[in-house]
Structure 1
Amino acid sequence: MDDELSRVAISIYQKAKKGNYYCGDSYYYKETENEFVCALADGLGSGEPAMDSSQAVMDIIEKYPELPIESIIKKCNEALLGKRGVVLGILKIDFNQNTYSYSSIGNIGVITIDQDGHRSRNIPLAGYLAGYPRKLRVSRGKAGEGMVFMMFSDGVQDRRLSAKHTSTRNVKFITEQYKQLYGENRDDDTTLIAMKYK
């Protein structure tokens, strides 16, 4: 799926684990006049119960996209009481300040590629959200024109997102290339979201 928003270009490749009808990964994104938010959650396990948990988190983010990341995650955590846990990544771009912030809990990966082609891979906090309080870490930086962000679930092996395949600023090419090369080898639910700040 591709979307040319006014400030962000986004392309998404998603497939359920081989043999599964339901995908346990859920995502949400929204661009407003002031900011862009994108979130990806992977429910623990697979199938419908995993999808139920990840979608519950997306419903919260859709309801409160304007809140700071820390507050959003706190609300997501509360929504998971009595459900399976999730791993979660949230990215925000502030158009007025030209800054970005993101947080990743569990094995949701985030890669940033700045205007000079410098790649940075985040180290997510270990664990998952499951209704109990936990520590958070939010990374922040300057968002420059043409900067690329990739967010992905553990069905994507980040070593396959090599510089050779992601040196382009074309987000559709990034997801299409990944789909063609690795789309059939799915031992887990797979979601790759590529975004460019225009």
Structure 2
Amino acid sequence: MKKVRIFLVLAITSLIAFTSCNQSKPVKTIENLKAGIIGETTASKKYEAFAQKAKEEGHDAIAMLFSAASNAEAVHAANHTKVLESLGEKMDDFTPEFEVKTTAENLQAAIEGESYEVATMYPQFLADAKAEKVQKAEQSFTWALDTEKKHNDFYSNALSALNAESESGLPTGYAVCPVCGNTYDMANVDDKCAFCMTDKSKFINFD
């Protein structure tokens, strides 16, 4: 009888250990990371194309903004990918799709995209990550959200300047943190990134 009890205890212990090792994955966060990767990668490619269009139209300051933002979005996509892979998942292949129009239209499209990310997409992603207790995703989503807020302001100012035919007051260069994507007007750069504390000596400059 004693041997039976010992066997039952061992069986139950093994079952508990097996169950704990096979807990369900954070399904919503995984879906959100994949959606974020698609969105950020598409934005990066799109802004790169928008930069080229702005150059063709003679809007050099706006072209620099798009180039800097393109780099920042690539950083966000890379961060999301790292978190996704740490959860044992891989990103499916996809092809970014977007349209390139006039610089004014491209700025408006960028504002609409950033506004959606700031007001709707990333707040929901963060809520899901917190609910599923995925701290690495929370950090990656927070860095992206805080950066998109700055991008939205940059784009809004650029569109206003373009419409007023007065682009001389726009930043003459930008700096991007390679760790979190934080984007600065080069005339006002912190010694360390305000989001992740990376030293400014490592920032990528666009001027």
Q: TM-score, normalised by structure 2?
A: 0.30
Task: State the structure with bigger RCO (CA 8 A, min sep 6), 1 or 2.
Answer: 1
Which is greater in Rg? 2
- The structure with the largest helix share of the pair is 2
Structure that is richer in strand per residue: 1
